[in-house]
Structure 1
């Protein structure tokens, strides 16, 4: 069977995306998995550490695997003007969006096995009219006309060796989390998570732990009633639907080693509830995965790091992990 490459989007060209992509290529050029970059060829070729001939334009996806061991293949979608590392510009926004749209189109048409996205700076995109809170929501919009095994994504998962977390709410101010929670949304997130654990990670009988929102998981309603009114009923509904779900659990006792051995993923109620323990466990190796989409999508679990962009010091660990995991999920899906 023909092996399809992955498509990597360049992310914000003023950030560390180009650098960590090139370093990932250096690390993976011999063993793979092979990938191509959807982005600006000139920006990619000017990345610190690149040498003449190490970045090469391709005109078709099937050229990527042939050149990957010799050069980093780039499907050139040019910027309007060059961008300086560390100096984000809203004039790059149209290209950044076009890179994501192009990569998603390649994945939907099955020309590539999946998409790995380098970090974007949402503030720069907002200035150019981008209306989504982040990558996850934009990918959901781009793929909404397509179905994936009955799931209703997108749901954000963060994964590192030893821990997977998914999020019931994502990019919301903390003050808005309680009002955004509902039995329906938590049940949907739990169903999508359970399905992904089976389909994408090969876990036959997934175990899902559901975190509470309040300290001590509300302590019987004395420290908040979200657990009794919303989260608890959602856990019972998940069990009725065949999901091996437990909770709501106090979040402060969910992430030590003995607790992590009792589940395959934690469904968290808000962004930092899941990301803080994961990044404490493995700051450099975490991967962002979008569940419930008809395509495979992963991303490094960090931002654009404008403060170190262009200095040649950015670590590619999370990007390498995201590339490897995207390929593993694609193979698992078959």
Structure 2
């Protein structure tokens, strides 16, 4: 084969970096199952960060025809191959199905290398395979998870947001990986306002929704029930929502979480902000497990991951379903393209805006139609709250 590595200037596809995650889990299994499909190369140039030896080990378990090309870094890649950056050369002891300091160390090392090249512009987006928090702590990883580490490295001082995404749901989590006993002390008007600002910008820029409508869930049962079950919803969350509305955002709530999902009311919104981890992830995984992905909003670059963990119980058994990882890969491609198009279009924004304003009544009519739609949702919102509270009083 005479194929040569090429730089970005000769590529017509995005380079998608993939950190291999915990070597004792199912990460490389779902990666190999996804990338062994030859059609993947039509959509992107995959760049794995890890070790060719580790990849070969897991390739033998999966038993698929999986060819890859070793490279020094992603500045120059083989455009029609899976590329592997060797982040270490030494042999590594793999203990399938168990967290070890070794698996934590090399997951951390692969992630660091991938982020370094993402910041350098060598890759266009990052997909992270699952890590195990216990193993990472053994390796002195000083963060609760990927989200917090990536926020430090890529948020540039802005507020990030853990966002679970499927075809029909986008659920953000205001307090990330935080023990439940610490949630109330963490929640503030300022935090909710910052998270909503990040959420709204992400929906516009990365998901292409011009004027997204966001629902906010209540922190307490029944959203506090008028202060009977806690005053945080009225004292903190509602003022944050009002402030965001004054700044032109379309935000509603706080909604009692149980009835909000149980009634199907969630379908009316472009995004939903949950206050704490399980409040958002339990309904998400019930409604979208296996087809959903994790996206870190608010970063300077695109990062996605599958919505499952290391699944030690099936590691090495060739039983892992690659669907969520595949979704994470394609979502990374889509969001990276959307963001590039958005900022490319902004260069012509003044010209387009002037043209729209010169067309008599067009802009005004579009605004009126949108306001009518928002009014309909607001009326349903009020009716929902009244019916919900009536029902709850009977319990």
With the length of structure 1 as denominator, give the TM-score of the two structures: 0.92
Distance 1:127 1:163 in 2: 34
Q: CA deviation at 1:54?
A: 2.0
Q: Deviations 1:191-244 (Å, cap 9, x if unpaired)?
A: 000000000000000101000011111110111111111111111111112110
Distance 2:230 2:107 in 1: 42
Residue in structure 1 matched with residue 106 of structure 2 by the alignment:
95
Q: State yes or no: 1:22 paired with 2:32.
A: yes
Distance 1:80 1:290 in 2: 32
Q: State yes or no: 1:304 paired with 2:310.
A: yes
Secondary structure of the residue aligned to 2:55 is: helix
Of stretches 109-118 and 77-86 in structure 1, the one that deviates more from structure 2 is 77-86
Distance 1:60 1:268 in 2: 39
Q: CA deviation at 1:63?
A: 5.3
Alignment of 1:1-334 (within 5 A): 2=11, 3-27=13-37, 28-47=39-58, 48-50=61-63, 54-61=67-74, 64-68=77-81, 72-78=82-88, 81-144=92-155, 146=156, 152-256=158-262, 258-334=264-340
8 Å contact 1:39–1:74 — kept in the other structure? yes
Distance 1:112 1:9 in 2: 12
Distance 1:56 1:88, change over 3 A: farther
Higher Cα radius of gyration: 2
Secondary structure of the residue aligned to 2:162 is: strand
Distance 1:293 1:66 in 2: 26
Of stretches 228-237 and 1-10 in structure 1, the one that deviates more from structure 2 is 1-10
8 Å contact 2:17–2:46 — kept in the other structure? yes
Q: CA deviation at 1:176?
A: 1.4
Give the structure with the larger helix fraction.
2
Secondary structure of the residue aligned to 2:79 is: helix
Aligned length: 326
Distance 1:89 1:55, change over 3 A: farther
Q: CA deviation at 1:117?
A: 0.2
- Unpaired runs of 5+ residues, structure 1, are none
Distance 1:59 1:51, change over 3 A: farther
Distance 1:52 1:332, change over 3 A: closer
Secondary structure of the residue aligned to 1:61 is: coil
8 Å contact 1:43–1:82 — kept in the other structure? no
Distance 1:277 1:52, change over 3 A: closer
8 Å contact 1:19–1:312 — kept in the other structure? yes
Q: CA deviation at 1:127?
A: 1.6
- Unpaired runs of 5+ residues, structure 2, are 1-8, 341-395
Secondary structure of the residue aligned to 1:29 is: helix
Q: Which has the higher contact order (CA 8 A, sep 6+)?
A: 1
8 Å contact 1:67–1:73 — kept in the other structure? no
Residue in structure 1 matched with residue 386 of structure 2 by the alignment:
none
With the length of structure 2 as denominator, give the TM-score of the two structures: 0.79
Secondary structure of the residue aligned to 2:36 is: helix
TM-align CA RMSD: 1.8
Distance 1:257 1:31, change over 3 A: farther
Distance 1:249 1:282 in 2: 21
